[in-house]
């Protein structure tokens, strides 16, 4: 009998399960497939947006779009065109129901569990081909699969689901040891973009005042050369904050607080050249950027959620 057995909605960047259908079957094969679900969910960011994994008597199919993956388990003889049409329906409904802000900020597993109702209804429809054939047009999906077939994930990449080390798991564990230059940060938020722009603005203001101070020094010997150093140090600190906001480095949070300290010291030294509002603006922007650096952390390894 060819049927869809279960389905899940998973966030791509960290493998967080957002919703899933209720599984009633507790066979050994199903238990093995749940382990494959976990292993795949941790690797979604490195896999193509449409894939199939053949696991004995079952197939795992999934599609990914806009940072969310839709994964389903079906019997091996379930038609490919119906499987991906089912996933396409889940994707359209989920995008319509939940905006990207909600999915990006979700912190709890299965926080959209109410979507299970739609998964169950759609699964029942697709498990009853007689009623299904009159409601959907599969010709477009057939053509799409023919032109761009799903990527077949080799089982050798996964190895055994019973804990035996595989090339897949070694590659994933090694990802935590890659150099900081290749570590990815979480997606930028609106407040992070605003902080980046404000930091650039402060850096530009310091740079302009620094050049004016050089002109004053050349025209008058009474100008303090240390003011020039303070302005250019302030510029460098602002630009380094922008760098920390965009790229991951080792000791990133510590560096951001030290940079904030440098900004405060420069503005304290420039107290005579700036009014209180200007000092308040530069220090506040520095503190705001430091907060955004602290909030935008690296994408860690996906927790061991029960998918």
- Note the pLDDT tens digit of each residue in 81-140: 889 999 999 999 999 999 888 888 888 888 898 999 999 999 988 888 666 654 566 777
For 149, the domain range is 4-159
Q: What angle do CA 39, 185, 198 make, to 5 degrees?
A: 160
User: What confidence tens digit (pLDDT) does each residue in 166-197 have?
Assistant: 433 334 334 333 344 445 677 888 998 999 99
Same-domain status, 242 and 285: yes
User: What confidence tens digit (pLDDT) does each residue in 19-64 have?
Assistant: 988 765 666 667 777 788 888 888 888 888 899 998 888 899 999 9
Would residue 101 count as lying in a domain? yes
Would residue 227 count as lying in a domain? yes
Would residue 303 count as lying in a domain? no
C-alpha closest to that of 153 among 59, 226, 85: 59
Would residue 178 count as lying in a domain? no
Same-domain status, 113 and 204: no
Would residue 34 count as lying in a domain? yes
Q: What is the pTM of this model?
A: 0.52
Query: How many domains are contained in the chain?
Result: 2
**Residue with more model confidence, 238 or 178:** 238
C-alpha closest to that of 301 among 166, 122, 174, 167: 174
DSSP helix/strand/coil, 306:
coil
Would residue 301 count as lying in a domain? no
CB contact set of 251 (below 8 Å; sequence gap of 6+):
none
Same-domain status, 223 and 140: no
Residue 163 has a CB neighbour count (10 Å cut-off) of 9
Q: Which of these three, 159, 181, 205, is where a domain ends?
A: 159
- Most trustworthy range by pLDDT among 15-29, 98-112, 219-233, 259-273: 259-273
Same-domain status, 200 and 144: no
Phi-psi region of 116 (alpha: psi -120 to 50; beta: other; left: phi over 0): alpha
Q: Name the token pair of 224.
A: 């303090």
């Amino acid at each position: 009998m060819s049927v869809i057995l279960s389905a899940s909605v998973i966030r791509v960047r960290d493998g967080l399960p957002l919703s899933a259908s209720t599984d009633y079957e507790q066979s050994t094969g199903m238990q093995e497939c749940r382990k494959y679900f976990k292993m795949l969910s941790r690797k979604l960011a490195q896999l193509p947006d449409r894939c199939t994994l053949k696991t004995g008597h079952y197939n795992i199919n999934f599609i990914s779009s806009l940072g969310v993956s839709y994964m389903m388990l079906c019997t091996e003889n379930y038609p490919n065109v119906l499987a991906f049409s089912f996933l396409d329906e889940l994707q359209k409904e989920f995008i319509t129901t939940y905006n990207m802000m909600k999915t990006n900020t979700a912190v709890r597993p299965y926080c959209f569990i109410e979507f299970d109702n739609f998964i169950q209804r759609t699964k029942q429809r697709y498990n009853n081909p007689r009623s299904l054939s009159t409601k959907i047009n599969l010709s477009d999906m057939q053509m799409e699969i023919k032109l761009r077939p799903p990527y077949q994930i080799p089982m050798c990449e996964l190895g055994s689901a019973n804990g035996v080390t595989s090339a897949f798991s070694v590659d994933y564990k090694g990802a935590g040891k890659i150099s900081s230059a290749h570590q990815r940060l979480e997606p930028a938020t609106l407040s992070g973009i605003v902080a980046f722009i404000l930091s650039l603005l402060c850096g530009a203001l310091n740079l302009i005042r620094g050049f004016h101070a050089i002109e004053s020094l050349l025209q008058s010997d009474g100008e303090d050369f240390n003011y020039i150093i303070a302005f250019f140090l302030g510029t460098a600190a602002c630009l380094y904050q922008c760098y920390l906001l965009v790229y991951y480095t080792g000791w990133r949070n510590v560096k951001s607080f030290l940079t904030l300290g440098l900004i405060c010291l420069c503005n304290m030294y420039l107290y005579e050249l700036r009014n209180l509002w200007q000092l308040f603006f530069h220090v506040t922007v520095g503190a705001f950027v430091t907060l955004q650096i602290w909030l935008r952390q690296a994408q860690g390894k996906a927790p061991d959620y029960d998918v």
